[in-house]
Amino acid sequence: MRMTKIFVSEPHPSAHEDGIDHRSEQRHRARSDDAILEISDDIFRKTIETNALGALRVTRAFAPLLTKSKAPRVINVSSGGGQLTGGADGWSPAYCISKTALNGVTSQLAAALPKFAVNSVCPGWVRTDMGGRNATRSVEQGADTIVWLASDAPQSLTGKFLRDRKEIPW
Ligand SMILES: NC(=O)c1ccc[n+]([C@@H]2O[C@H](COP(=O)([O-])OP(=O)(O)OC[C@H]3O[C@@H](n4cnc5c(N)ncnc54)[C@H](OP(=O)(O)O)[C@@H]3O)[C@@H](O)[C@H]2O)c1
């Protein structure tokens, strides 16, 4: 299954993260997800389906294999844009709501899979195809918490939302 690309993208850093509003310079990257009252049903549905349902479907498919591991781990790459704490700033609403939903998937999976470590991560604003060249973090920095959760983090750490190896509010 493959759907439109812009909805897994992060065209600007979350205002929650660095306090800077990059919306005007990045607006062209997400024109179809600019305003909550103007999003088409199709865009909204595809965004949620890709970013939240997609992650659930992948986990569902891999859970029987992961169960054979002594330390099964699921890491959902979310975004500070999905945080409810602090309120929304209006930027890319479908994308942000899809990441809020993904965080809900993480929380529910952590409850359903008590032997697993299931967590959400915000990588920060990263210089990828999505983040663009002006992003503040290298790919290595963005991947750090994800790699740590996949390898060295305590197995007891589950059902959390993290950035820079630390828990952050949902
Ligand atoms: N970069 C940031 O600043 C930032 C900030 C917060 C969160 N994130 C999150 O980090 C994750 C990875 O982003 P990235 O920055 O690493 O972006 P990236 O380098 O542009 O990579 C995006 C990846 O997603 C795949 N993809 C795009 N649309 C897809 C779709 N509809 N279905 C399946 N796969 C799709 C792409 O596949 P192809 O290569 O085959 O096209 C590519 O492998 C995303 O979930 C994003 O929301 C990124």
pLDDT of residue 21: 38
> What CATH number has the domain bearing residue 127?
3.40.50.720
pLDDT of residue 32: 87
Q: 119 - beta bridge partners?
A: 75, 160
pLDDT of residue 11: 43
Tens of pLDDT along the chain (170 residues) come to 332 233 344 444 444 453 333 443 343 334 589 999 999 999 999 999 999 999 999 999 999 999 999 999 999 999 999 999 999 999 999 999 999 999 999 999 999 999 999 999 999 999 999 999 999 999 999 999 999 999 999 999 999 999 999 999 99
In the residue annotation, 99 being an active-site residue is answered as yes
Kindly give the distance from the C-alpha atom of residue 166 to the centroid of ligand 1, in angstroms, as a whole number.
Answer: 22
Whether residue 2 has its Cβ less than 6 Å from ligand 1: yes
Set 5, 68, 70, 99: catalytic member: 99
- Spell out the residues 6+ positions from residue 33 whose beta carbon is closer than 8 angstroms to its own: 6, 7, 39, 43, 47, 92, 93, 94, 95
Residue 17 in any domain: the answer is no
Residue 19 in any domain: the answer is no
Whether residue 125 has its Cβ less than 6 Å from ligand 1: yes
Whether residue 126 has its Cβ less than 6 Å from ligand 1: yes
Residue 9 in any domain: the answer is no
Residue 7 in any domain: the answer is no
- Determine the structural domain holding residue 119 and report its residue range: 26-167
Q: In the chain, how many domains are there?
A: 1
Helix (H, G, I), strand (E, B) or coil at 112: helix
Set 46, 68, 95, 166: catalytic member: 95
For the sheet with 117-121, list strands across it.
73-77, 117-121, 160-163, 166-167
pLDDT of residue 1: 32
pLDDT of residue 7: 35
Kindly give the distance from the C-alpha atom of residue 140 to the centroid of ligand 1, in angstroms, as a whole number.
Answer: 15
Residue 6 in any domain: the answer is no
Residue 80 in any domain: the answer is yes
Q: Which atom of ligand 1 is nearest to the CA of 8?
A: 47
Residue 15 in any domain: the answer is no
Helix axes 54-66, 93-112, angle to 10 degrees: 20
Kindly give the distance from the C-alpha atom of residue 128 to the centroid of ligand 1, in angstroms, as a whole number.
Answer: 8
Residue 157 in any domain: the answer is yes
Q: Which atom of ligand 1 is nearest to the CA of 127?
A: 1
In the residue annotation, 70 being an active-site residue is answered as no
